[in-house]
Amino acid sequence: MAEVLTAHTAEIDTAVLEQARELLYAVFDDMTEQDWEHALGGLHALVRDEDELVGHASLVQRRLLHQGRALRAGYVEGVGVRADRRRRGHGAAMMHALERKAMRAYDLAALAATDEAASFYAHRGWRLWLGPSSALTPAGVRRTEGEDGCIYVLPLSAPLDLRQELTCDWRDGDVW
């Protein structure tokens, strides 16, 4: 059985981080350096199978604005499993580890799902955000219509109205 290791970015050897970065570039054809940067600075879940890194996911802190409140969010980034090791429970094991941590530290968890992964998250209890999405940019709050229908949340301690607006904090690259 595969081993799942969780550790903060600062605790992971640079060679292992480079393996994780290479893994994500192999999994996603549209991966960018900004996407990789978004996955750093928080908790990583790494899956090793037969001494090879075959899966990565991370949980980073962000602020999401909802109904006049700034919520502490555990935001999931960089979830990927090597193509030849999929459908063996690696993604579920990584998400389980990160969801457990999120439950103890955040008001909610959130992520932007690809079309291929949406059912995976829904099956785990993540809920599709039905309201409009936006970002708090240097120029003020701006709608992010292209992300509507892709954002999933795992309600934890904060009351949420999934039909109202959800605004993320600013960052370079993809804001969601």
Domain-wise residue ranges, the chain: 3-168
Q: Which CATH superfamily is domain 3-168 in?
A: Gcn5-related N-acetyltransferase (GNAT) (3.40.630.30)
d(Cα 31, Cα 54) in Å, to the nearest integer? 17
Mean pLDDT of 96-119: 97
- Type of residue found at 159: P
When pLDDT is averaged across residues 20-42 and rounded to a whole number, the result is 97
* Calpha distance 154→27 (Å, rounded): 24
pLDDT of residue 1: 57
pTM (predicted TM-score) = 0.95
Give residue 2's pLDDT: 74
- What residues contact residue 174 under an 8 Å CB cut-off, 6+ apart? 34, 35, 38, 112
Contact 109, 76 (CB under 8 A): yes
Per-residue model confidence (pLDDT) at position 63: 98
